[in-house]
Amino acid sequence: MMSSFNAIVPMACVTAAGIAAMVAEAFRDPGERMPIGGLGAVGLLGAAIATWLLWDRNAVSFGVVSADKFGLFVTGILIVVGLLSLAISGPTIERERLPRGEYYALMLFAIAGMMLMATATDLLVIFLALEVLSLAVYVLTGIRRDSQKGTEAALKYFLLGALSSAFFLYGIAFTYGLTGTTRLDRIGSLLAAQAMAPTPMQLLAVGLVLVGFAFKVSAVPFHMWTPDAYEGAPPAVTAFMSTGVKAAAFAAFVRVFLSAFEPLKGSWSEPIVAGWSQVVWVVAAATMIVGTVVGVAQTNVKRMLAYSSIAHGGYLLVALVAANDVGKASVLFYLLTYAVTNIGAFGVITLLDNLDQPNDEVRDYAGLWNHHPALAALMTVFLLSLGGFPPMAGFIAKWYVFSAAVKAGDNVLAIIGVLTSVVSVFFYLRIVVMMYMTPSDTPARFPAVPRMAGAALIASAILVFYLGILPTRVIDWAAASIATIF
Amino acid sequence: MQFPILTSLVALPVAGAILLLLVRGDEEQSAPFVRKIALIVSLLVFGETLLLWSRFNPGSGDFQFVERHAWIPAFGIEYAVGVDGISLLLIVLTGFLTPLALLSSWESVRKHTRAFSIFLLLLESAMIGVFVSLDLFLFYIFWDAMLVPMYFLIGIWGYERRIYAAIKFILYTMAASVLMLLAIIGLAYLYQTTNGVYSFDLLKLYDLPKTRHQELWLFAAFALAFAVKVPLFPFHTWLPDAHVEAPTAGSVILAGVMLKMGTYGLVRFAFPLFPEAAAFVAPALAGLAVIGIVYGALVAMVQPDMKKLVAYSSVSHLGFVVLGITAMNTQGVQGAVYQMLNHGVSTGGLFLIVGMLSDRRHTRQISEFGGLKKVTPRLVAAFLIVTLSSIGLPGLNGFVGEFLILLGAFRWDPRLAAFAATGVILSAAYMLWMFQRVNYGPVTNDKNARLPDLQPREWAIIVPIIAVAVLMGVFPNLFLRPIEPSVQRMLNQVQRGAPARIQAVNR
């Protein structure tokens, strides 16, 4: 009987840690320092052990949460995201005097929601998970209550997010109307049996769900909230949401579209069958192009990385369009790589953030090399990885995704992908130019680096090189992950 | 197990760079120490390349010292390295020029010496990696990784417009390379459709049958990447900026080794992988090469800046190399490979000399100089020898390569050879005119009156260059012998793919 709970053990660990954080905060004397972040780390480590034990078991709880390898791989990514985010949050909390317990509790609940989203096999449960994680992240975005930008960002994010949830729910309703179920596997088989060419009603259902996901992964044209939210939130939260939300949303996106909605994929071959893959093709191309081209024009590092994050979403969509075994596995590898790299980059931003001076304009990075050579070197590693330079992980990830596109015969999308990635190098290098090649006009004004956060950044950098030079094992895991469910 | 000499060649500079990372102390204290370590590491690498050459069996055209290890088995990606006669001497050249580049920056690099040495060593690793890779994926990794240290070398230690030049360099070459990455992926999938498994192994992909249509597209992607790197006219616009703004060491490596990556890529990858497409496109490439020879020479003639002049002369000289490759006969390709080495030595030497002048006067404008012969006779003597070697005076290295290339081109199409030959004359014109304006006549500028002559450190730079230039001019067979069997093997490879063309050429 107990065994039916197995699949939810990882998220239960994280939830328990979140509750513990709240309780600890409630019983904390004002002024007393408690290692609440440590509680979160314990919860995440518990989740990691559970994930490791569940690997290869294919545990299913209540018929709607499936701890298959695909879900567990994403759970693993989320654990990495959680640990790194906890580690780089310390300085921000300290400096901004944020409510420690609430901050960590919200982050842990968000992670639990993300894990549920990655493992859910029912549209309604996915929706539930989406709401759990979104609500926590909305609050985290606006957690600096006295910051005007933060509040504006949170409100914008919340309104657009709520709207997208409505779309998503509406899409689920239509899907239920068509098939009489919300279970992904049954939807898949029923849709496959219904008709050869998708009917308008089916396309409407898929379209609405697609809009919901597109909001969450900030795909063009539903990306408008991203730069504002990323800029307004504390950088540690941005690091967390730009990676965690994306990983969870993409996991569900791939699962829903490549299992339940697989029959409505459509095809480019003669005669053209209308389906979602044509739409996603256009969305992917637009996302890559808009993300990089608008990114070039940014002068704020956070907004620049927000557009970079949009562009990276586009590369992930390329893999989704390819929809072959390489594509599905590459999504997993890409999400891991992107998570490690992006948290690293935002971690550096977090460490440079002063209360009186956010240091988040590109020109603020002038001469960083002279003041903080180690931080400059780490930032360079992360930026070059985002730009896709070997031997960093970003190169392997991009190669993997474009391999999927080439294998699917989609050369045009692959060409758009590589060319936009060259354009993106331009704005990543602008920061490098500032750090190394531009003398700073003002004296050093960067805060010292706390040990914990420094260790997290070094760990990220090591992972970036590990995944870039010896990706074999992780690629094998990713390949094994997709073999079980699709 | 055999000693992994190639892996150790790639790893040694990286190890040196890591060692330098551990050096403590501020700039003032650490710089002399750092310079010495970097120089010792680079000399060790050079010694090892010589060891490689001595162990190399010149009678065989096959790949030697091959090492293979599975790397990403799911995609058939291997860590596979090996050398043949074509890559062997280019590796030696890399090993030869890196210590000289370090020596040249001994005094001119005054800030961040440690980072400078690290980037130069990392660059050396990546360059050697490009030459030894037998797996296309591995090759691309080195190819792309090479850009980063060069970008920093230009951007941090370069002259006034260094940032613009550095970004232009990296974006321009990367934009051309990424399409090659897609072509590499495409090749691996093509292999998979016929053989069931993926492979990025160069030797297997050589024999992969491709349709004409596929070949043309894949060849286009490869050729574009290499043409930008060479640089072939009209893709050369990044080169003058990068060369002029780069520090002396950067220019030496850029001209001496990195430009050869492009022509090496044509010989190693583009032509043998896609022989039919290559035969189809070769006349057009040869046309561009000849235009580049004449255009580069004419533009070089009117440059007021010595470094820019040498940069444009590279466009012209590399045009010869491409012409030799497109001729696709023994003389042409052999001459092309030989000319790659020559150009590395003589243009590397020219940049070193211009660097010495610029260290003394902090300007590179020809008009600022004049009459140096009376002031610094030894420096001018060295300058003369290097200039003559670049022009291709018989008895020095430049002559042999150009002669072989023109011979090869003539056997293919005499018209091309005729046009290209004007480049030889033009090169004499612009080089000697420059030499004359800088060194002869009265000393017109008072600042030149008291310039010091060659320092011991500069002797150490210039003597090896001159010695090699003479050696290559007098005993070309020493160098041509290991090249020949590999060139022959590569031509056979191309011939199998496009027999009609080769027969027509070798009538």
Closest CA to B504 of B207, B283, B352: B283
Residue with tokens 């391999």: A403
Domain positions in chain A are: 2-485
Q: How far is B199 from chain A (nearest CA, A)?
A: 13
Residue A1 pLDDT grade (very low, low, confident, very high; cuts 50, 70, 90): very low
Cα distances (angstroms) measured from residue B111 to each of A374, B105, B269: 17, 11, 40
pLDDT one-digit tens code per residue, B55-88: 988 888 888 898 999 998 888 899 999 999 899 9
Q: Are B20 and B117 in contact (CB under 8 A)?
A: yes
pLDDT one-digit tens code per residue, A380-431: 999 999 999 989 999 999 999 999 999 888 889 999 999 999 999 999 999 9
Residue type, B416: L
Kindly state whether B75 is in contact with chain A, defined as any CB-CB distance less than 8 angstroms.
yes
Does the model's pTM come out above 0.90? yes
pLDDT of residue B129: 94
Contact criterion met (CB < 8 Å) for B145 and A425 = no
pLDDT of residue A88 exceeding 50: yes
pLDDT of residue A130 exceeding 90: yes
pLDDT of residue B112 exceeding 90: no
Average pLDDT, chain A: 89
pLDDT of residue A267: 74
Domain positions in chain B are: 274-507
pLDDT of residue A146: 85
Q: How far is B383 from chain A (nearest CA, A)?
A: 33
- Chain B interface mutation, best of A381, A436, A475, highest count of B Cβ atoms under 10 Å: A436
Q: What percent of chain A lies above the pLDDT cut of 70?
A: 96
Q: What percent of chain B lies above the pLDDT cut of 90?
A: 40
pLDDT of residue B506: 46
pLDDT of residue B507: 38
pLDDT of residue B504 exceeding 50: no
Across the A:B interface, residue pairs with CB atoms under 8 Å apart total: 78
pLDDT of residue B174 exceeding 70: yes
Q: In DSSP terms, which residues pair with B133 in a beta bridge? A: B81
pLDDT of residue A445 exceeding 70: no
Q: Are A456 and A87 in contact (CB under 8 A)?
A: yes
Closest CA to A80 of A451, A343, A387, A350: A343
Kindly state whether B191 is in contact with chain A, defined as any CB-CB distance less than 8 angstroms.
no
Q: Which of the 8 DSSP states describes residue B25? A: S
- What ranges make up the beta strands (E) of B7-121? 64-72, 77-83
pLDDT one-digit tens code per residue, B82-97: 999 899 999 999 999 9
Kindly state whether B50 is in contact with chain A, defined as any CB-CB distance less than 8 angstroms.
no
Mean pLDDT, rounded, for B91-111: 89
Residue B505 pLDDT grade (very low, low, confident, very high; cuts 50, 70, 90): very low
Contacts of B73 in chain A (CB under 8 A): 472
pLDDT of residue A365 exceeding 90: no
- Chain A interface mutation, best of B180, B181, B214, highest count of A Cβ atoms under 10 Å: B181
pLDDT of residue B23: 82
Nearest by CB to residue B178, choosing from A418, A426, A429, is A418
Sign, Cα dihedral of B122, B16, A369, A344: positive
Contact criterion met (CB < 8 Å) for B72 and A419 = no
- What ranges make up the beta strands (E) of B150-269? none
Q: How far, in Å, CA of A4 to CA of A62, rounded?
A: 6
pLDDT one-digit tens code per residue, B334-382: 999 999 999 999 999 999 999 888 888 888 888 888 888 888 888 889 9
Kindly state whether A182 is in contact with chain B, defined as any CB-CB distance less than 8 angstroms.
no
- Torsion on CA atoms A404, A406, A408, A409, rounded to nearest 10: 170
User: In this predicted structure, which of A53-57, A197-201, B132-136, B409-413 has the lowest mean pLDDT?
Assistant: A197-201
| Three state DSSP letters for B420-444 | HHHHHHHHHHHHHHHHHHHHCCCCC
Closest CA to B461 of B108, B31, B122, B157: B108
ipTM of this complex prediction, to 2 decimal places? 0.91
Q: What percent of chain A lies above the pLDDT cut of 90?
A: 58
Q: Are B178 and A419 in contact (CB under 8 A)?
A: yes
Contact criterion met (CB < 8 Å) for A433 and B185 = no
Nearest by CB to residue B185, choosing from A384, A403, A476, is A403
Q: Which two tokens stand for residue B222?
A: 């490869």
Q: How far is A366 from chain B (nearest CA, A)?
A: 13
Contact criterion met (CB < 8 Å) for B140 and A422 = no
3-class state of residue A356 by DSSP: coil
Contact criterion met (CB < 8 Å) for A471 and B178 = no
Residue A12 pLDDT grade (very low, low, confident, very high; cuts 50, 70, 90): very high
pLDDT of residue B122: 94
Average pLDDT, chain B: 88
Q: Are B121 and B38 in contact (CB under 8 A)?
A: yes
pLDDT of residue A80: 95
Q: How far, in Å, CA of B81 to CA of B78, rounded?
A: 9
Residue B498 pLDDT grade (very low, low, confident, very high; cuts 50, 70, 90): low
3-class state of residue B82 by DSSP: strand
Mean pLDDT, rounded, for A308-329: 92
pLDDT of residue A315: 95
Q: Are A350 and A88 in contact (CB under 8 A)?
A: yes
- Chain B interface mutation, best of A333, A399, A421, highest count of B Cβ atoms under 10 Å: A399
Contact criterion met (CB < 8 Å) for B182 and A411 = yes
Residue B218 has, within 13 A of its CA and on its CB side, a CA count of: 27
Q: Are B326 and B232 in contact (CB under 8 A)?
A: no
Q: How far is A331 from chain B (nearest CA, A)?
A: 16
* Helices and strands (DSSP H and E) totals, chain B: 23, 2
- Give, rounded to a whole angstrom, the gap between the first and last alpha carbons of chain B: 47
pLDDT of residue B499 exceeding 60: no
Kindly state whether B287 is in contact with chain A, defined as any CB-CB distance less than 8 angstroms.
no
pLDDT of residue A270: 66
- ω into A271 cis (within 30 of 0): yes
User: In this predicted structure, which of A157-166, A197-206, A377-386 has the lowest mean pLDDT?
Assistant: A197-206
Buried b (16+ CB within 10 A) or exposed e, B163-173: bebbbbbbbbb
